[in-house]
Structure 1
Amino acid sequence: MLKALEYFIIGADHSLFQAKRVAQRACALYSYRSCTWKDARGMRRRLIACMALALALSALQNAPHSQAQSNKPFSLPFNTPPGPTTWLLSQQFGNTVGAFNYGRYWYAGGQNLHFGLDFWAPCGTPVVAIADGIVDQVDNLSFGLEPHNLTLFHRDLGYTSVYGHLNAKPSLMRGQPVRRGEVIATVGDPDRTCQSRPHLHLEIRSRDYRISYNPVLLIDADWETLASIGYHHFGGFVKDLYHPNRWQSAYDQPDVDFNERPLNDFLLSYPPLARNAPPPLTLPNFNAPPLGEGYATMRRLTRPGCCALPFWAPDSSAVYYYDGADGALATRYAVSIQAESAPQPIGEAPHRYYSPDGLWEVLQIDGRTRVVNRATGEWREIATGGAFPQFSPNSARLLWHRHPADNIPGGIPPLTEVWVANVDGSGRDLLGTQQGGAVYWLDETRLLAVEPVGRTQTFNLALWDIRTRQKMPLTQVKNLRGLQVAPGGAIILFYAPFQDDPTRSGVYGMLTKEGAQPVLLPFFGSYRWRDSKTILYLRYGADANPMLNLNGGQMLLASYDVTTGEQRILTDPTQPFRIANDDWHVSPDGRHVVFWSADDSALWLISLP
């Protein structure tokens, strides 16, 4: 490490991606990102690391965005653009939700972090070399990455690329040269079925394979757009509530050392483990005020660098988020959207989940679930088996699912219990069981049950009547993703890529009533409900393309009325923005949007016209 830094400082190639790499490696030695020197071994180390960091930051500050992009030496592993018929990004590198939940099963040798990128694609999708190189390993199963894998050494760059979960053994020989963009393999499935988890796992490692580097810093791609759709249980990053701003961006993840201890054994996190997380919130039926003329306005709410994973106050008056010093329990802040004012502390972690009417909250203390009356402070414990319950749309009832074990993708889903109770915890009742999957509130008497079909990516959707305990089949969806329930529960929204008929791949809306059929919508990208009949979604690029379109991550906000089919661009096309990690949230009253900016890592407010 020291020799590498010395060589860099005294005259090695000062390209931008190397500067970034050296700065990150330097900080990784001393309490990653902060360089507090708690493991310092002498002034010489400190001086070298500081010089490297200063040089890297100088390079970053003086390089325009286009230069930063052009200095990334690798390209994407596909020769087709992303989309619902080709491929999508499904998991980032590092401190991901997937790694937090399943790292001890899948990534234990890599500090429990996800030490590559995952790209979701059908089996047989061609995979191409990300740079010129020579074949180093073919089907070396010491890497795992079954059923087949391949590694390429890029001598001029000093890195090795690793391609895993391939469909067949690559027909390449060790030492054989390959060119950037040359087809080297096809996408496979680690479960060998092509129905369970087909995807490409891509890594960039050191020559000796001991260190895995963040591919986002090395591959020239529009990561903001790619991250805006494709995630499913794995994407996004987990917040350590004792280090609330660490490892929250795709760009600040730590290198993975395969000889070091796990890094994500968090004492307190947000969101919680998937097996304990509440069902998604469904708001009561409502129609937001009609949109006015002109474009939405935008303003920054927080300082640069703060803060990922915001959430709304139940009455839409403020945005809440976590912030604080490393090592101390995070403080929960509120910043008003009514006037430009400084954020105010309103409490500490752990996280609370609020009822739609704002009268109740749920939290856990020492693993015990409490429902608290926010007006009186009175609380009651509910036996939920460690699970967080979710409030019904009218805030009168609670719903939770109890998983007896982790629902590991590719495995046999555990028999999951579905419970309901009154909001004060009384009337606790086991409604029934299902094999894994999820449940959602539709209204006060109906649930939506989503259950996988065996070890496949096909899901059965059913309407579940709480009063009669009966389920009525609704539909079956292959490759179901991103399901969201409209306020009031009359309509659901989801996307289903990679259909047998490519023209049927895309975003769908569907009524939650007997005999309804899914309706393909005229856009594909990140979406949220605004109210019971209006969707907000992202349009991409200078031409405001309603389909996924790589153009530097430039985004606009648009609306779609499911009753009329009317579409409208809501933000000024001359002022596009970039959202990090698909981290954007509509206020409960449908008047505002808060997002985490990829440009300054601050929270920004969009007030709709």
Structure 2
Amino acid sequence: MLAALLAGSALAATLPSRAVLSGECCPGAVWTPDSRALLFLDGPPARGSTGIYQVSASGGAVTRRFSSVAFFSPALRWAVRPGTGDATTLERLADGRKFTLPTRGSDVTWNRAETRAAYTRSDTSGNYDRRASRVFVADVFGAPRQVATLYGGGVSAWLNDTTLLLTGKPTPQARDRELFTLDIRSGARRVLRQALGVRALTVSPDGRFVAYTIAFDSAARNGLWVQATAGGTPRELNDYGSYRWRDSRRLLLIPLKTSGGPHTLRQYDVTANAWTTLGDLGDQVRQSDWGISPDGKRLNYLSAKDGNVRVLTLP
């Protein structure tokens, strides 16, 4: 019994972290693709001009990465700039070549190679649950084509170069939304789950698994779930909080905590169907503002104590 208690204490040890940004300047920091630095939006009075700035994951000098503000693709190959009308301009950063898509200001979702984009155009009036949402895909510098119509939903992710993950209702009158995959070549659909609402969708880096939350539905449906995107029975994780994929098989979770005290970091291994407690932060994360480096080795978070951006190395 004593050995078990000591082991539990070791697992719950505080994970050491260091502040890499201070002064409450920088909510929403994200990792660079090489996992070496964090990017954040800032401007006067802290910086000389508004832009996207960068700081090393180990701290140090802040430098300006991009002088213009845009939505940058995950691999930083593209700058996406919505216009005042329907057109959104997409600029390839390597050579400055541009093309436009009629997204009407909606988000652009990239495939992993960033050679293909998807977006959703929804009707702008009426009850959202009954609004038609039309899904389009386009190769870069190519013309868009519509691949689906659904209601009260849209694109969630690319699973691979030819398969989208979508959510929405099949008809305006339907009660439940569907979480489903769509092959953009054949039009084949696979429904993974039906529920009143599917929230906080996040796909594993290899596209093989999706984690999601169902709330305000029946007791049998509510909860945090992981499911293979190829189909099969969803698995309830019997915990709840804020979650991110560490890699293709491990999901990190900061459980919801209403009693105060530091946030705990837990890890779920999809392959082993097993939980591990990695430790606590000695702090709380402000407004679920945290992320995992693409190589799965580090975690950044916005400190609830002092508003600093902190980085820790994951066990």
Q: Same fold (TM over 0.5)?
A: yes
Alpha-carbon distance change, 301 to 591 in structure 1, aligned in 2, over 3 angstroms = same
Whether 2:234 is the aligned partner of 1:518: answer yes
Separation in 2, partners of 1:569, 1:473: 33
Whether 2:282 is the aligned partner of 1:576: answer yes
Question: Would the aligned equivalents of 1:316 and 1:587 in 2 still touch at CA under 8 Å?
Answer: yes
Partner of 2:215: 497
Displacement, 1:499?
Answer: 4.4
Whether 2:147 is the aligned partner of 1:431: answer yes
Question: What does 1:440-455 correspond to in 2, within 5 Å?
Answer: 440=156, 441-452=158-169, 454=172
Question: Would the aligned equivalents of 2:179 and 2:198 in 1 still touch at CA under 8 Å?
Answer: no
Question: Would the aligned equivalents of 1:434 and 1:451 in 2 still touch at CA under 8 Å?
Answer: yes
Displacement, 1:295?
Answer: 7.3
Whether 2:194 is the aligned partner of 1:476: answer yes
Question: Would the aligned equivalents of 1:458 and 1:480 in 2 still touch at CA under 8 Å?
Answer: no
Whether 2:252 is the aligned partner of 1:536: answer yes
Separation in 1, partners of 2:264, 2:175: 31
2:206 pairs with one of 488, 495, 502? 488
Partner of 1:384: 103
2:306 pairs with one of 579, 589, 600? 600
Separation in 1, partners of 2:176, 2:83: 37
Whether 2:167 is the aligned partner of 1:459: answer no
Question: Would the aligned equivalents of 2:131 and 2:172 in 1 still touch at CA under 8 Å?
Answer: no
| CA deviation map 1:553-582 (0-9, x unaligned) | 5202221101102322223x4x52111111
Equivalent residue letter for 2:70: H
Question: Would the aligned equivalents of 2:257 and 2:263 in 1 still touch at CA under 8 Å?
Answer: no
Question: Would the aligned equivalents of 1:457 and 1:480 in 2 still touch at CA under 8 Å?
Answer: no
Displacement, 1:448?
Answer: 1.5
Question: Would the aligned equivalents of 1:411 and 1:455 in 2 still touch at CA under 8 Å?
Answer: no
Partner of 1:591: 297
Equivalent residue letter for 2:134: E
Separation in 1, partners of 2:108, 2:258: 38
Separation in 2, partners of 1:388, 1:498: 26
Partner of 1:332: 52
| CA deviation map 1:323-365 (0-9, x unaligned) | 2237x9732210111x431211223442222243x43332335
Equivalent residue letter for 1:449: L
Alpha-carbon distance change, 348 to 553 in structure 1, aligned in 2, over 3 angstroms = farther
Displacement, 1:321?
Answer: 0.9
Using structure 2 for the length normalisation, give the TM-score. Answer: 0.84
1:556 pairs with one of 257, 264, 267? 264
Question: Would the aligned equivalents of 2:137 and 2:145 in 1 still touch at CA under 8 Å?
Answer: yes
Separation in 1, partners of 2:161, 2:219: 37
**Partner secondary structure for residue 190 of structure 2:** strand
Equivalent residue letter for 1:531: D
**Partner secondary structure for residue 526 of structure 1:** strand
Using structure 1 for the length normalisation, give the TM-score. Answer: 0.46
Question: Would the aligned equivalents of 1:415 and 1:434 in 2 still touch at CA under 8 Å?
Answer: yes
2:223 pairs with one of 497, 500, 506? 506
Alpha-carbon distance change, 388 to 500 in structure 1, aligned in 2, over 3 angstroms = closer
The percent of aligned pairs where both chains have the same amino acid is 28
Displacement, 1:298?
Answer: 1.0
Partner of 1:62: none
Partner of 2:9: none
Equivalent residue letter for 1:345: R
Separation in 1, partners of 2:265, 2:230: 30
Question: What does 1:361-400 correspond to in 2, within 5 Å?
Answer: 361-364=79-82, 368-400=87-119
Partner of 2:4: none
Structure 2: give runs of 5+ residues left out of the alignment: 1-12
Separation in 2, partners of 1:553, 1:311: 26
Separation in 2, partners of 1:479, 1:340: 40
Displacement, 1:320?
Answer: 0.9
Alpha-carbon distance change, 412 to 352 in structure 1, aligned in 2, over 3 angstroms = closer
Separation in 2, partners of 1:450, 1:529: 20
Question: What does 1:60-79 correspond to in 2, within 5 Å?
Answer: none
Question: Would the aligned equivalents of 1:482 and 1:494 in 2 still touch at CA under 8 Å?
Answer: yes
Question: What does 1:133-532 correspond to in 2, within 5 Å?
Answer: 296-325=15-44, 330-337=50-57, 339-356=58-75, 358-364=76-82, 368-405=87-124, 411-422=128-139, 424-440=140-156, 441-452=158-169, 454=172, 458-501=176-219, 505-514=222-231, 516-532=232-248
Equivalent residue letter for 1:568: T
**Partner secondary structure for residue 241 of structure 2:** coil
Higher RCO (Cα < 8 Å, 6 or more apart): 2
Separation in 2, partners of 1:329, 1:485: 35
Displacement, 1:366?
Answer: 5.3
**Partner secondary structure for residue 325 of structure 1:** coil
**Partner secondary structure for residue 442 of structure 1:** strand
Partner of 1:81: none
Displacement, 1:370?
Answer: 2.4
Separation in 2, partners of 1:513, 1:461: 12
Alpha-carbon distance change, 586 to 456 in structure 1, aligned in 2, over 3 angstroms = farther
Larger Rg: 1
Alpha-carbon distance change, 295 to 580 in structure 1, aligned in 2, over 3 angstroms = closer
Separation in 2, partners of 1:501, 1:365: 43
Displacement, 1:528?
Answer: 0.7
Question: Would the aligned equivalents of 1:314 and 1:354 in 2 still touch at CA under 8 Å?
Answer: no
Partner of 2:275: 567
Displacement, 1:495?
Answer: 1.5
Question: Would the aligned equivalents of 1:370 and 1:380 in 2 still touch at CA under 8 Å?
Answer: yes
| CA deviation map 1:80-123 (0-9, x unaligned) | xxxxxxxxxxxxxxxxxxxxxxxxxxxxxxxxxxxxxxxxxxxx
Separation in 1, partners of 2:273, 2:223: 16
Displacement, 1:419?
Answer: 0.8
**Partner secondary structure for residue 107 of structure 2:** coil
Alpha-carbon distance change, 355 to 370 in structure 1, aligned in 2, over 3 angstroms = farther
Identify the structure with the greater strand proportion: 2
Question: Would the aligned equivalents of 1:393 and 1:488 in 2 still touch at CA under 8 Å?
Answer: no
